[in-house]
A and B are shown apart, each in its own frame.
Chain A
Amino acid sequence: MNGQTRISWPARAVSALLALLTALALVVCCAAMLAHSLLTSTSLHESVALDARVTDAQMERITARAEELAAKYGFAPQSVLSVVTQDSVTAYSREVIAWWMGLLGDEPVLEAPAYPTADIEAAVRADELFQASIPAVQQRTVARDSVAYEMGRAVSRAVLPLRTELIALVMPRLQERISLPVWMNRLAKLPLVCAGAALGLMLMILLLLRARPDKAALYAGTALAGAALTVLGLTALLPLLNLGGMAAELSDMLALQCGVLYKGLALRALLAALPLLVCGYALIFLHQRRRKARP
């Protein structure tokens, strides 16, 4: 006899099942946290919009479009690019993010913000080359409709490569069917509910194995660390779904934004999984530290 109570096999089986359910609850908790971040976190989306690779690619596209229009309508591209600066594009990106996040709120504004084009029009009309190449009576129309409007569209598409008018069309119908704020509220509460369930299940393990607290620590630690490994594994496997590849077929900019967004989400998944991994292995360490006495 070693002086320690032996655990019956049904107690072991039930504990293992409880540990699996605890891990599942924790994985759902982390997934709900990440989904909530994806849908509501302005900082996450700003980190994508302000990423150097994304802003550089946006400015490259915008510059290319300005040069294309300049060649067509005979003005110096610098006239437009002095107005469409990286700062103004960044400010517009922030507006778009606020609009995008607001779509899931109580009172969504359906129409996406437009990049202000009045300054572009004024800059083009003031350009000497433009004045020389376009007849005076057409300058206003060409500057407004063919240059400023097109540049505004180019900036909008570089910032958000989606047909926002379609989103504005679909959203009211979606709102008629389901109340998005109610569902967002439920999603916000889901991590707490899952964490509470996981805590309850771990208490059940402790109650079941109260005669052997070290084994209870082992099962609870296994559940915590197992959940963390699952979250990390799922995050690592996510690129296999090839969402970036699907996006790249349609828009390079969207693929780039998806890539940066994935890295932001992966970092958040790591930050969520790390405490679970540490707590889990700390509990397993408690089990491993005890010395088993032999006669």
Chain B
Amino acid sequence: MSRNVSRPSRLFWLTPLLVALPLLAAACAVAALYWPKLCSLLSVVMKLVVTS
């Protein structure tokens, strides 16, 4: 008996993006939320510690 065969969709190659994009978006959101505060603190510390 002959059987038709097919390959799975090529879109499965893109599934890592379904994981990477939410993680990157979460990282960007956290950075957008906390980086300004951290940046000002870091700027003060750097002004104290760094010499020209």
Q: Given the complex, which residues of B lie within 8 Å of A247, measured CB to CB?
A: 46, 50
| CB-contact partner of A295 in B3, B15, B17, B22, under 8 A | B3
Q: Given the complex, which residues of B lie within 8 Å of A223, measured CB to CB?
A: 19
Main secondary structure of the interface of B (DSSP, over half): helix
Q: What's the tally of chain A residues with a CB closer than 8 Å to chain B?
A: 43
From residue 6 to 51 of chain B, which have CB atoms closer than 8 A to chain A?
A: 6-8, 10, 12-13, 15-20, 22-24, 27-28, 31, 35, 39, 42-43, 46-51
Which residue of B has the minimal Cβ distance to A233? B24
Q: How far is the CB of A74 from chain B (nearest CB, A)?
A: 27
Which residue of B has the minimal Cβ distance to A161? B51
| CB-contact partner of B23 in A167, A226, A288, under 8 A | A226
Q: How far is the CB of A174 from chain B (nearest CB, A)?
A: 13
Q: How far is the CB of A160 from chain B (nearest CB, A)?
A: 9
Q: Which size bracket describes the interface of B in this complex? A: 20 to 34
Given contacts A162-B49, A163-B50, A284-B16, 19 further A-B contacts (CB under 8 A): A163-B51, A221-B16, A222-B19, A223-B19, A225-B16, A226-B16, A226-B17, A230-B19, A230-B27, A237-B27, A250-B46, A250-B47, A251-B50, A251-B51, A254-B50, A288-B7, A288-B8, A288-B13, A294-B5
CB-CB nearest 4 A-B residue pairs: A226-B19, A225-B16, A229-B20, A226-B16
Residues of chain B whose beta carbon lies under 8 Å from any beta carbon of chain A: 3-8, 10, 12-13, 15-20, 22-24, 27-28, 31, 35, 39, 42-43, 46-52
Contacts A/B (CB < 8 Å), 27 sampled: A20-B22, A23-B19, A161-B51, A162-B50, A163-B48, A163-B50, A167-B49, A218-B12, A218-B15, A222-B18, A222-B19, A226-B16, A226-B19, A226-B20, A229-B19, A230-B19, A230-B20, A230-B23, A233-B24, A237-B28, A241-B39, A250-B50, A251-B52, A284-B16, A287-B8, A292-B6, A294-B5
